[in-house]
Amino acid sequence: MKVLVPVKRAIDYNVKVRVKPDNSGVDLNNVKMAINPFCEIAVEEAVRLKEKGIATEIVVVSIGEKASQEQIRTGLALGGDRGIHIQTDLALDSLQIAKLLNKVVEEESPDLVILGKQSIDSDNNQTGQMLAALAGMPQGTFASEVVIEDGKAKVTREIDGGLQTVLLDLPAVVTTDLRLNEPRYASLPNIMKAKRKPIDTKSVDDFDVDVTSNVKTLKVMAPPQRQGGAKVASVEELIDKLKNEAKVIS
């Protein structure tokens, strides 16, 4: 069984994000970049499937600038077998990414596509669903448990009311939630081995895909600073402040 794992290069989650002075975007100068945490969970789940003898090959794919190969190498160090890099300097939105991934799916014919439910930068939570629609595959989103047996994927997904279990015919698309697993650390020997694993580099021009974005960012602003709290002497005073100052009750 072949598993395809798309990964994204994003700002390291430990970094404090700074907005550019002109509010045109996020300042990426000298900022540490890393594999998107949800993508890392997807890689871990694919590796666990391989360790169980279910998956036979893990293909890690990333779309982005040349430096995105670092994140592919991370995926290979965690247990991936080979990588595919679609190199572009364009700022692509979710639909364009899904279209390109669909072309990769057509070429690779994976039995399972597993990817993070969202990236921590754009936070759109769209690519997996769009890919499933374009590829005509069943989908299980927000997965907290994935069981593969008898040519089907049983996916337990987190919803507002609790948990929902769906049974998907393979091939299928699964997006990962935080509680699916805890990713391992790449060992030094595996990091060294990853340097010798193959990465097939392609260009956006190699695919018959219109990558013209229909999304335009007008302005990026930092969230307002949180105001300090205040103590109240009684329940009556609390109600009065919630009603007249915060205006959250009437």
Instruction: Note the pLDDT tens digit of each residue in 122-167.
Output: 889 999 999 999 999 999 999 999 999 999 999 999 888 889 999 9
Q: Do residues 173 and 136 lie in contact, with contact meaning Cβ atoms separated by under 8 Å?
A: no
Domain assignment present for residue 110? The answer is yes
| Selection from 207, 3, 175 nearest residue 86 by Cα | 207
CATH of the domain at 90: 3.40.50.620
Count the alpha carbons within 13 Å of 93 in the hemisphere toward its beta carbon. Answer: 9
pLDDT value for 115: 96
Structural domain range at position 113: 2-220
Q: How much is the mean pLDDT over the chain?
A: 93
Taking the chain (250 residues) in consecutive chunks of 10 residues, what is each chunk's mean pLDDT? 96 89 87 94 97 96 95 96 94 93 96 95 92 96 94 92 93 95 94 95 91 86 83 91 86
Domain assignment present for residue 245? The answer is no
Domain assignment present for residue 122? The answer is yes
pLDDT value for 26: 87
Domain assignment present for residue 108? The answer is yes
The token pair that represents 49 in the structure block: 């499937």
Q: What's the burial of 47, exposed, middle or buried (CB within 10 Å: 0-12/13-18/19+)? A: buried
Domain assignment present for residue 62? The answer is yes
CA distance 40 to 179: 12
pLDDT value for 24: 85
The token pair that represents 237 in the structure block: 């005073």
SS3 content of the chain, % helix, strand, coil (to 5): 30, 30, 40
Domain assignment present for residue 16? The answer is yes
How many domains in the chain? 1
pLDDT value for 213: 83
Domain assignment present for residue 91? The answer is yes
Question: How long, in residues, is the chain?
Answer: 250
Domain assignment present for residue 198? The answer is yes
